[in-house]
């Protein structure tokens, strides 16, 4: 069945503007370590750390005011990331584009760095990732094989006319197409939390989805 991805952009322009007004970026006085990381010069990065430079220094306008860790993450340099983190680099620090090192690594598909930074965020009890909406279509007959399955009509659309009422009130059939979402909720609509058919999310249900239905969120959305 087909995969459907919905718009991951959930913040409003007013929220973005408020955040940008709150956080003002200026280049650090000494951002040699940023230039060294940008140039992939590991020896110079280590030397500057030994000299006591600020590992969280921001570069200039040319560097998008990124930090050394931002550059190392974007390049996929896991060893440099480890060196910077060990020296106290902040894995939540952003440049002018407001992207953390993890989000930069994700945009560049740097899998090793993504795993490293996720672990760092996990240890710190924080996350810079927002859930990415995702759903996949299945025939209802496949979901009905779950032993604890039952169907409901939660947050159901209100019919605007008799024709819509007949469609919405008809009995479910094995051939109906339904959608499993990233949080394992099942809906008649492709939109999350609308026309909900099943929302009893248990470990058994998640296991059934993963094993029997082979439901999995694509890696590039994780």
pLDDT at residue 129, as a whole number: 67
Measure the CA–CA gap between 177 and 187, rounded to whole angstroms.
9
Buried b (16+ CB within 10 A) or exposed e, 196-213: bbbbeeeeebeebbeeeb
Mean pLDDT of the chain: 85
How many angstroms separate the CA atoms of 92 and 2, rounded?
A: 35
Return the structure tokens found at 139: 């025939």
The average pLDDT across 48-74 equals: 93
| Between residues 184 and 63, the one the model is more confident about | 184
**Cα dihedral 43, 45, 48, 50 in deg (nearest 10):** -70
| Per-residue pLDDT tens over the stretch 125-172 | 887 766 678 899 999 999 999 999 999 999 887 888 888 888 788 899
**pLDDT band with cut points at 50, 70 and 90 for residue 221:** low
Q: Which two tokens stand for residue 7?
A: 């718009």
pLDDT value of position 20? 40
pLDDT of 74 > 90? The answer is yes
Question: What are the CA-CA distances from residue 211 to residues 32, 100, 205, 207 (Å)?
Answer: 50, 34, 10, 6
Domain with CATH 1.25.40.20 in the chain: 11-124
Cα–Cα distances in angstroms (integers) from residue 31 to residues 63, 170, 199, 205, in the given order? 10, 66, 51, 51
CA distance 91 to 180: 33
Class level of CATH domain 11-124: mainly alpha
- Looking at residue 36, its pLDDT comes to 96
Angle at 183 between CA 181 and CA 185, to 5 degrees: 60
pLDDT at 222: 57
Q: What is the chain's percent helix, strand, coil content, to nearest 5?
A: 40, 10, 50
pLDDT (mean) for 77-83: 97
Spatial CA neighbour of 101 closest among 131, 144, 60, 66? 66
């Amino acid at each position: 069945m087909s995969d459907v991805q919905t718009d991951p952009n959930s913040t409003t322009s007013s929220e973005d503007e408020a955040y940008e007004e709150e956080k003002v970026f200026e280049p650090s006085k000494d951002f040699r370590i940023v230039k060294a990381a940008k140039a992939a010069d590991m020896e110079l990065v280590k030397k500057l750390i030994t000299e006591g430079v600020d590992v969280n220094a921001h570069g200039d306008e040319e560097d998008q005011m990124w930090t050394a860790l931002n550059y190392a993450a974007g390049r996929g340099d896991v060893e440099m990331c480890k060196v910077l983190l060990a020296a106290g680099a902040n894995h939540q620090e952003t440049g002018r584009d407001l992207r953390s090192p993890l989000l930069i690594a994700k945009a560049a598909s740097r899998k090793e760095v993504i795993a490293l930074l996720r672990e760092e965020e996990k240890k710190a009890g924080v996350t810079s990732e927002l859930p990415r909406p995702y759903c996949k279509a299945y025939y209802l007959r496949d979901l009905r094989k779950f032993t604890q399955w039952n169907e409901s009509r939660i947050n159901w659309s209100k019919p605007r006319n008799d024709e819509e009422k007949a469609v919405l009130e008809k009995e479910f059939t094995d051939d109906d197409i339904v959608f499993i979402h990233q949080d394992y909720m099942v809906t008649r609509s492709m939109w999350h939390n609308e026309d909900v058919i099943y929302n009893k999310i248990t470990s058994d249900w998640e296991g059934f989805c993963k094993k029997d239905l082979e439901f999995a969120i694509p890696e590039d959305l994780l």
